[in-house]
Amino acid sequence: MKKTLLVVATVLSLSVSCTNAKTQNTVEQPMLKLSNGIEMPQFGIGTFMMPSNEVCKDAVLTALRAGYRHIDTAHAYQDEQGVGEAVREFCAESGVPRSEIWVTSKLWPNEYSDPTAIDNMLQRLGLDYIDLVYPHQPVGDVKGVWHNLENAVRQGKVRCLGLSNFEVEGAEGIYRWCVDSTDIKPVILQMECHPYAQRIAQSDQIKKDGMVVECWYPLGGAASRGALFQDPTIKSIAEAHNVTPAQIIIAWHVQEGHSVIPGATDHGYIQENIDALKIKLTDDEMAKMRDLNKEQRFYNMKLEDTARFCGVPLPDQGSNVSREEFQKAMEDELNSKK
Ligand SMILES: NC(=O)c1ccc[n+]([C@@H]2O[C@H](COP(=O)([O-])OP(=O)(O)OC[C@H]3O[C@@H](n4cnc5c(N)ncnc54)[C@H](OP(=O)(O)O)[C@@H]3O)[C@@H](O)[C@H]2O)c1
């Protein structure tokens, strides 16, 4: 049990110029231009906490058929295989080229020093290249992993590099090294960000350093227990547009210029979330949404705890914690945060 909890903690401590591309389902897909000149679909689906590769494949395939063109996964989510199967099946059935789909994944700290880690990731995904790779946490051999990632970019295996959770307190030094001292710069930073934790100071710095902000827990995450959906301001704006609170939150993210990757397995939510791209909030509504900020994160693990736990192997790396135990432990950890 102790070991199970260790794994949990590792996983949990585990922002632009815009153009639009039309998907086959005529949903306008806003694009973000990254500092390396590459354009990324601003909106996508995240696959954290999906219970199996089968559920993940179903969710991602449903999303791609609904017009999504961006998927965010991670080695730690243990569902890259489901993502890759969905992408390959969708490309084959629709004729949409792989180049129109954005696939992001993340390396776990215990594989940062491994020069074969990206080849292993490509194998799990069953893809020829990955659009964006993040080191998942700002601990361990970050300089080593950056060297390996730069080589992967030079070899055409990876297109873009980003930073995940590198905005946290205590990671300032390694954040600056990644921004100031690398040959291939990070173009994006992924962090918890939603109306109750807008991360204003962090966002300002990230943008100043030439990166886009990408938001995890964009709806508050499972740990929030739907708190944002009950917010009176968000509910009243939703009523005015005759849409759901979740759609208002997604519209707010998009208008703020965030990349936003809400996780969903429910087919209704998957459709609802992409339909939010049709919503246009007024300046007054945007101001009301900004006023909700209280910098209240729903996930609050300290960096030293992250560091302590990140050496634990993932289930497919020889850990004696099974995939099911790993998922259950993540759920228990989220439940303990209510
Ligand atoms: N870098 C990191 O450390 C890190 C950490 C956490 C997350 N992430 C990434 O960010 C993505 C988004 O975060 P998240 O998935 O944890 O949280 P989230 O997107 O804020 O919330 C997901 C939860 O909201 C529910 N939901 C989705 N759409 C809804 C709607 N329209 N109405 C009501 N409920 C809705 C989902 O339910 P169902 O599942 O039942 O459909 C799920 O329980 C992740 O999937 C992952 O890719 C990264």
Nearest-10 crossing angle of helices 172-180, 142-154: 30
Ligand 1 pocket, mutate which of 45, 49, 193, 217 (most atoms under 8 A from CB): 217
Q: Whose CA is nearest to atom 9 of ligand 1?
A: 216
To the query of whether residue 217 is one of the catalytic residues in this protein, the response is no
Ligand 1 in contact with 67 (CB < 6 A)? no
Ligand 1 in contact with 164 (CB < 6 A)? yes
Average pLDDT over residues 279-302: 95
Given 68, 77, 112, 134, which residue is catalytic? 77
* Of the listed ranges 2-11, 214-223, 289-298, the one predicted with least confidence: 2-11
* Of the listed ranges 13-27, 36-50, 127-141, 305-319, the one predicted with least confidence: 13-27
Average pLDDT over residues 68-85: 97
Residue-wise pLDDT for 66-75, tens only, equals 999 999 999 9
Distance CA 158, CA 154 (A): 8
Q: Whose CA is nearest to atom 21 of ligand 1?
A: 221
Task: Answer yes or no: are the C-beta atoms of 109 and 136 closer than 8 Å.
Answer: yes
Residue-wise pLDDT for 115-171, tens only, equals 999 999 999 999 999 999 999 999 999 999 999 999 999 999 999 999 999 999 999
Task: Answer yes or no: are the C-beta atoms of 141 and 115 closer than 8 Å.
Answer: no
Q: Residue 144: what pLDDT? A: 97
Atom nearest to 106 CA in ligand 1: 1
Ligand 1 in contact with 220 (CB < 6 A)? yes
Cα 181 to averaged position of ligand 1 atoms, centre (Å): 33
Edge-to-edge strand ranges of the sheet holding 102-107: 45-46, 70-72, 102-107, 130-135, 158-161
Q: Residue 59: what pLDDT? A: 98
pLDDT at 186 over 90: yes
Q: pLDDT band at residue 314, thresholds of 50, 70 and 90?
A: confident
**Averaged pLDDT of the chain:** 89
**Phi, psi of 293, rounded to the nearest 5 degrees:** -65, 125
CB burial string 28-67: b at 16+ within 10 A, e below: ebbbbebeeeeebbbbbbbbbbbeebeebbbbbbbbbbbb
Domains and CATH numbers, the chain: 38-336 (3.20.20.100)
Instruction: Tell me the CA distances in angstroms from 42 to 71, 192, 203, 216, 333, one per residue in order.
Output: 11, 16, 16, 13, 30
Q: Residue 317: what pLDDT? A: 76
pTM: predicted TM-score of the whole model, two decimal places: 0.92
Ligand 1 in contact with 296 (CB < 6 A)? no
Distance CA 221, CA 238 (A): 19
Atom nearest to 219 CA in ligand 1: 20
Q: pLDDT band at residue 23, thresholds of 50, 70 and 90?
A: very low
Ligand 1 in contact with 266 (CB < 6 A)? yes
Ligand 1 pocket, mutate which of 219, 225, 231, 248 (most atoms under 8 A from CB): 219
Q: Residue 336: what pLDDT? A: 54
pLDDT at 46 over 80: yes
Q: Which residues does residue 163 pair with via DSSP β-bridges, in sequence order? A: 189
